[in-house]
Amino acid sequence: MVAAGVVPPSGARDNRRVQTFVHTIRRALALTPDAEALVCGDVRLDYTTFATRLRRLHGVLTSLGTSPGDRIAIVSFNSIAFTELYCAVPMSGRVQVPLNFRWAAPELAYALEDSGARILFCDRDPGPLADLVDTVVRLDTDDYESRLAAADEIDFDPAAVAEDDLAGLFYTGGTTGVSKGVMLTHRNLIANAWNSQFVQPMTSADRYLVMAPMFHAAGSVSLLQSILVGACQVLLPAFSPAEMLDLVERERITQTLGVPTMVAATVEEQFARPRDVSSLVGYAHGGSPIALEVVRRGVQAFPDAAFIHLYGATETSPLLTGLPDEADLLDDERARSAGRPVLGCEIVIRDADGTPLPTGEIGEVTAAGANIMAGYWNKPDQTAAALRDGFYWTGDVGRVDDHGYLYLLDRSKDMIISGGENIYCTEVEDALYTHSAVLEATVFGIPHEQWGEAVHAVVVLRDGATADEDELIAHCRGSIAAYKVPRSVSFQTEPLPTSGPGKVLKRELRAPFWDGHDTQLV
């Protein structure tokens, strides 16, 4: 008998030999040595060439004086070099540190210093960042390729890398404050590759379009999974809805993943200038909540694609739950869920004291499995707060139904408390998205003398569409309770500000409203 409020794992926990990056590459070579592995622009690599370049990159890392355990930083758009570093660095026992290329110099400097990175591979002028590492290798000149051509091929020893060795430090940050280095092991990332295969299956015949930035989990989630089955990955260096659709048509892309803002942009582009997207059979999305109206339009724009809702976090490598065949559930309550736990993951809803809550009760989402991080680099106190009794505390508020579907209500820090009532931003945002003029919407709390907080919305309208504050407020009254309806709406023509993973930077939008107040929400 399973305790109330506890979602059992979809399979036994830790019941598989997870293996390491080395085993994964060798498996791909055994499956499809002559098949295309990577495509980026005019460059195409088969798996045999890919493996040769990885061995040469091992030689480069050795010639630079690095040893197993050393941290190797990467600042780059999506590229073949990035993919090679993502694989070869952990295969050689080093630790990759992919960083957000959108960060300002002080943010990058913090991560380089915090991680203790010795080498920086980057596709731009590093400026003063060069002083923080031993060596800079440029990806935007012939530096990288010339080093690769001159290097010895050094094979990878499977016995030299263990499943629990660190594979990477993945720095979070942007939506809630100071960046933290999430320590992910070989076990974590390979387990996630299998978890991804559970919810968005692929074979060697698939062609996967990587359009989310690879420094983030949403961009790299498919990387190991594709290699695991010998599929081809087509890399889009920087996201553009037009270029994404052109690639789907030209390369006959079968699978992809994007954050909701990307999904919405590609849907609008496909309606405006249709391409042949009949090859696309899987369109996953994750990273932040998506409005059902966006999915409805997506089903119309990409009629052959199964829409798949993914939920997770950097700390979970990242996948926790999945909702396949989302389009079939659009008129079902389950469409509002994040799906059920993937293979080997366990979800428990808890109160603030850590007590598991009954089915249907609202609390914090906690998770366990082989994909849960080892901790935060150099942050023992934050690690202890996030990892308790074998579970990761996500900071997300949610509930689980009788069938094990997880419903996410909000980030605990984003929940609005107005007049003593808890208001979950996603409910209000969903209501706004059902208005035909709304392209983007986000909701947060602003100061209010009487209620403590009031609901405020920031909206971006579709090109050529019109709507005013009164119209949108009246629209919301028709679908949500009066106390949840926005008390004010502001409009902007620029897209909503987002972090690298595509999450809306609410703290930037609400900061002016809280300026000068004693309570500051971050």
The CATH number given to whatever domain includes residue 440 is: 3.30.300.30
pLDDT one digit per residue (tens) for the chain, 522 residues? 334 444 544 443 443 456 899 998 888 888 899 999 999 999 999 999 999 999 999 999 999 999 999 999 999 999 999 999 999 999 999 999 999 898 888 889 999 999 999 999 999 999 999 999 999 999 999 999 999 999 999 999 999 999 999 999 999 864 445 789 999 999 999 999 999 999 999 999 999 999 999 998 777 888 999 999 999 999 999 999 999 999 999 999 999 999 888 898 999 999 999 999 999 999 999 877 777 888 999 999 999 999 999 999 899 999 999 999 898 999 899 998 999 999 889 999 999 999 999 999 999 999 999 999 999 999 999 999 999 999 999 988 899 999 999 998 877 677 787 876 778 788 899 899 999 999 999 999 998 877 778 999 999 999 999 999 999 999 999 888 888 999 999 999 999 998 766 678 888 898 899 887 644 333
Full domain range(s) for residue 449: 416-514
Tokens of 481: 């309770």
Q: Is 386 helix (H, G, I), strand (E, B) or coil?
A: helix
Query: Within 116-199, where are the H helices?
Result: 143-150, 186-199
What whole-number distance in Å separates Cα of residue 506 and Cα of residue 458? 10
Could you tell me if residue 54 is inside a domain? Answer: yes
Enter the DSSP assignment of 504: B
Pair of tokens at residue 66? 């690095």
Identify residue 421 by its one-letter amino acid code: E
Dihedral angle sign, alpha carbons of residues 254, 263, 177, 455: negative
Answer with the one of 137, 161, 185 that is the final residue of a domain. 161
Residue ending a domain, choose from 134, 161, 188: 161
Q: What are phi and psi of 320, to 5 degrees?
A: -120, -50
Strand partners, 363: 398
What is the distance between the alpha carbons of residues 342 and 129, in angstroms, rounded to a whole number?
A: 40
- Evaluate whether residue 479 is within a structural domain: yes
Angle of helix 80-91 versus helix 47-63 axis, rounded to 10: 60
Helix-strand-coil split of the chain, %, nearest 5: 35, 25, 40
Which residue, 123, 106, 229, 228, is CA-closest to 173?
106
pLDDT at 521: 39
Domain CATH for 71: 3.40.50.980
With respect to residue 425, please indicate whether it lies within any of the assigned structural domains.
Answer: yes
3-state secondary structure of 376: strand
> Could you tell me if residue 96 is inside a domain?
yes
Strand partners, 416: 423
Spatial distance between the Cα atoms of 148 and 141, rounded to a whole number of angstroms: 13
Burial class (CB in 10 A: 0-12, 13-18, 19+), 427: middle
Q: Is 89 helix (H, G, I), strand (E, B) or coil?
A: helix
**pLDDT score of 518:** 44
Number of domains the chain contains = 2
Give the number of other Cβ atoms within 10 Å of residue 333's Cβ. Answer: 10
- Say if 346 falls within a structural domain: no
Distance CA 307, CA 291 (A): 13
Q: What is the C-alpha R_g of the chain?
A: 23
Q: With the C-alpha atoms ordered 366, 368, 372, 373, is the resulting torsion angle positive or negative?
A: positive
| Domain edge (last residue) among 161, 191, 207 | 161
> Has residue 170 been placed in a domain?
no
242 domain residue, yes or no: no
Task: Give pLDDT, residue 220.
Answer: 84
Query: Residue 464 domain-assigned?
Result: yes
DSSP class per residue in 4-18: TTEE--SS-TT-S--
pLDDT at 85: 98
